Amino acid sequence: MAQLYDTLIIGAGIAGCCSAYALQQKGQKVLLLDRSSVPASGGSGAAGAFVSPKIGKGSPLQSLTTEAFHFSKAFYLRHFPDYFDQTGVVRIPKDEADAQKFATYEPHNNASYQRLSASELSQFGIRESEESFYFEEAGVCDAPALCEAILKQVPHAQHTVEGLVYEAGVWVVGEYRAKAVVLATGYQNQLVDMRYMGVKGTWGSRGDYYSRLALTVSMHKRISISANQEGVIKLGATHVKSPTPCQVCDGHPLKSLEEQASRMVDTRDFTLKETFCGMRAGSKDYFPLVGRVIDVAWMLEQYPTITRGAKPPLHYHPNLFVCNGVGGRGFVFAPWMAEELSELIVKQESVDPRVNPDRLFLKWCRKSTELVRE
């Protein structure tokens, strides 16, 4: 008989890797499954992997992002310092109108920062005229290397999951058995009905370039440019929402990035080393998703009036969880989300309501055009 795990985690992007690591740290017997033999081969592998706060006027999403930033920064420095380069990140206004908004953002910058003038930016080799914010504690992860480092500490296997079966109190996933399952599958969600979460993919591209440019800080404007790390500078962005992104890119996924980068820094000696592309999974309301998975079919059958506004108690798939919807901030959110998830699974602690997928279900039932209303 196949050995029984406490939890199977499906998907070895940064969300899945951190979930497996956090659960194992709490004493669980875990197994991380992915259809690829290469960790972070999807959206995480194409990520710029910046770890920095969100700027703005103090929205709930900004507050959550900043909380996650502080948690995740400490997590990387403590557990994986070799894969997190604390370069600092300069946040540059998109244009003159955006620059005028920056003054209203300052009261909500709940992380250590300083303002940089145009002359101070030029000392870093940055060609920008608008005053910017420099978050000195922020930085960038080596995305694939970090996921690979986590996998060296967590049991994992290459396996294409084609279905989930729950029988006799155990989840059966191919040849594997577990008391619980975590879905960290990114924008692909064919295993169970999770339409209410509204997870969709946005295409992201990244190019790694050999360069001798002495760029000591990372920056973000409309795109991300990393500091020079061992002779390599990374350009990246999450920027294409088309279902056929390759047609939009027309074989040149880095063209736009290179054009924008050339206006920000001196790119004359940039030589392309490698190209990465992948889908980043975001939720309907841009907040991450951590929690139990509602049994949609059961709810609709038992409570047909739910589509007309009824609010019955929620019914979940047994011991089935999700960790998803990180969008373009996966390396900020994933360690924090993994901690929330592990507390739920191991200690039955309540999940932060800001990320609990339950928030989306009733509204989806009322608004979805996919459901038939009688």
Q: What is the amino acid identity at position 51? A: V
Give the whole-angstrom CA distance, residue 193 versus residue 260.
Answer: 40
In the chain, list all ranges with CATH 3.30.70. 201-278
CA angle 333, 339, 344 (to 5 degrees): 125
Predicted pLDDT of residue 149 = 95
Phi, psi of 319 (to 5 degrees): 50, 40
pLDDT at position 321 = 98
pLDDT value of position 374 = 45
What confidence score (pLDDT) does residue 240 get? Answer: 59
Task: Report pLDDT for 246.
Answer: 56
Q: Name the packing angle between helices 330-347 and 14-25 (round to 10°).
A: 40
- CA pair distance 88, 154, nearest whole angstrom: 30
Architecture of domain 4-42+146-199+284-367: 3-Layer(bba) Sandwich (3.50)
Amino acid occupying residue 240:
V
The conformational region for residue 15 under phi > 0 = left, psi -120 to 50 = alpha, else beta, is alpha
What is the location of CATH 3.50.50.60 in the chain?
Answer: 4-42+146-199+284-367
| Yes or no: domain 201-278 corresponds to CATH 3.30.70 | yes
Q: Does residue 339 contact residue 22 with C-beta atoms inside 8 Å?
A: yes
Q: Residue 277 contacts by C-beta under 8 Å, 6 or more apart in sequence?
A: 46, 203, 204, 205, 206, 245, 253
Q: Could you give the 3-state DSSP secondary structure of residue 197?
A: helix
Question: Rounded to whole angstroms, how far apart are CA atoms 10 and 8?
Answer: 6
**What is residue 369's predicted lDDT score, i.e. its pLDDT?**
75
Residues forming beta bridges with residue 32, ordered by sequence position: 9, 156
Residue 174's region, left for phi above 0, alpha for psi from -120 to 50, else beta, is: left
**Residue pair 122/114 in contact by the 8 Å Cβ criterion:** no
How far apart CA 278 and CA 12 sit, in angstroms, is: 14
Q: Looking at residue 247, what is its pLDDT?
A: 45
Could you list the pLDDT tens digit for every one of the 374 residues in the chain? Answer: 678 999 999 999 999 999 999 999 999 999 999 988 776 666 676 677 899 999 999 999 999 999 999 999 999 999 999 999 999 999 999 999 999 999 999 999 999 999 999 999 999 999 999 999 999 999 999 988 999 999 999 999 999 999 999 999 999 999 999 999 999 999 888 899 999 999 988 888 899 999 999 999 999 999 999 999 999 999 998 665 555 655 445 567 688 899 999 999 999 999 999 988 888 889 989 999 999 999 999 999 999 999 999 999 999 999 999 999 998 899 999 999 999 999 999 999 999 999 999 999 999 999 887 775 54
**Residues 98/107, Cβ–Cβ less than 8 Å:** no
Contact yes or no for 271/197 (Cβ under 8 A): no
Rounded Cα distance, 71 and 270, in Å = 34
Fill in the amino acid letter for 28: Q
